Structure 1
Amino acid sequence: MSPDRSQAAYAASAADLALRALDALQGAGGTAMVADHVERTDDPKAALAAIRIVGADVFAPCLLAGEGLHPADAAAVAQSFAVFPPPVSTPAPPPAGAAEPWLAAWRDWGTASLLARFAGTETGAMPVGTDADGIPAAAESTERNGPVTAGVGGALAPRPTGAPQLAEAGSGPAETTWQTWSTRMGQLSPLALPGLESPVHAMARAAPEALARGATRAVLRRDFPTAARVARWLALLAAEGEPLPLDPAPLVEHLRLHGGGPRLALDVAIARRLLTVEDA
């Protein structure tokens, strides 16, 4: 398969997995949605890549809807790390290093950390074999309380250093403006879930106005996927009781009415859950 066809297959599989996560968040679908996604596909490699693309959001039904993590799902997530291992050392943050590998490392850390939390292992290490029915090998889930911090999940994806930096107005280079900063925070939206804690979360709490401006700018530009991703941070801050310069609920409802595919719909549904808005 050519690189372009591989990327297309990965994107299509990620959209399917996002839809499964959305259904599970809304109480539809069966159990073991991640493992089922892998087992029912004609392209298991693309399905495993999709787990890494959707990332920590595969745990949204556990965190926001009280669903238990099926052991087969935990094993499928771990298997995705076995097939697509992250770099051994974490990339340097921008501007010293390239932005995308660093952002990917943060997203991987969030996924591995929540796997460690729900699978009950400090390292996130899970068996990656299959049982007699071909389902990824199970592991017992035990640890379910408290936020994940620092190095938890480190064996699968060590925590990167740094966080997106926001310069004071007129005092920094272009890449640190609120426009670029809010976009980068949007690229890290899978971390905008309860149960995770990192320097990225600390930066979000330190700059709610920049997040609000970024979300508003994205809506005005009709860039609804970016708006939804940034709105998730605003919804998380609202859930934590942080003061905000705007009410995120009307913004999220506006985005819900626009639609835009499974990934955007999942982002909006997560934001609505964080805001305790009941699904319509």
Structure 2
Amino acid sequence: MKVVEIKVIYESDNIDEATKEISNVFYDFGVTGLKIEEPLKDKNPLDFYKDEKQFLMVDNAISAYFPLNFYAEKRKKAILEAFDQKFSDREDIVYTVDFYEYEQEDYENNWKKYLYPEKVSEKFVVKPTWREYTPESDELIIELDPGRAFGTGSHPTTSLCLKLMEEVIKPGDSVIDVGTGSGILMIAAERLGASEIYGTDIDEMAVAAAKENLELNSIDSTKAKVYKGDLISVVKNKKFDVVVANILADVLLILIKDISKVVKKGGKIIFSGIIEDKCDIVKKEVENLGFEVAQVKQDKEWRALLIKA
């Protein structure tokens, strides 16, 4: 399988803010991998011998990676339109967008040199499969190969979810992850002691990735099951102690009534993927269903809700 690299080279009066804004455009499209490159600020001649490429780099760049499939051309057009809509009237940023194609194996191997274990919450460390890491006594390890994942924990929306899951999931709980992507939240639920775990996703490639990652983390398929399809068609006459959904707010608003039907009375719902501007709208819909918003966590412009059913 081939992979598409979409590379944005940019200059801005505020590089940090521009980096965040460009990254978020890609995250909105479900990017499967993101690489950020920046020139060295204070160049030491010795750095040339350590990393010639970085020493010679003069531009800030972000590369996003997507599978090359029948959505590729539509995705390319939509991403270009998203950048144009976001930045066309801006004078504080100048950018170019280029597209490249690679064989998946080449893409994955290129990724390996950039990735290291990363602590993404109080307890969870996401570790690339090829890296060694000795956890502290209270740390929980999730093994993921970011080259094939649909979410690796580094984005604030996933990190916020993991932090809330640490607070509410108890040994023996039943958990469902709606829109599971890489399966990272299913793996986290198992690490926290959940005894029955479901994951659903409408994307066939995400379902395959989640199953692969569950196996990689030695999680038995009788304990954690991944299904392709929408929530209600997959789950019939079953309710869960904890429902997790890390999806954009507009999608949450569509799914919220269906999600309310699969959580036990007194159970918990965790919503993430909510941009700040949409938070009050989601909260209002939650309260209209008779549920209580018990906590709002935030990271930059992102919000996550802990809801009591």
- TM-score, structure 2 as length reference: 0.26
Structure with greater proportional strand content = 2
- TM-score, structure 1 as length reference: 0.28
Larger Rg: 2
Structure of greater relative contact order (alpha carbons < 8 Å, 6+ residues apart): 1
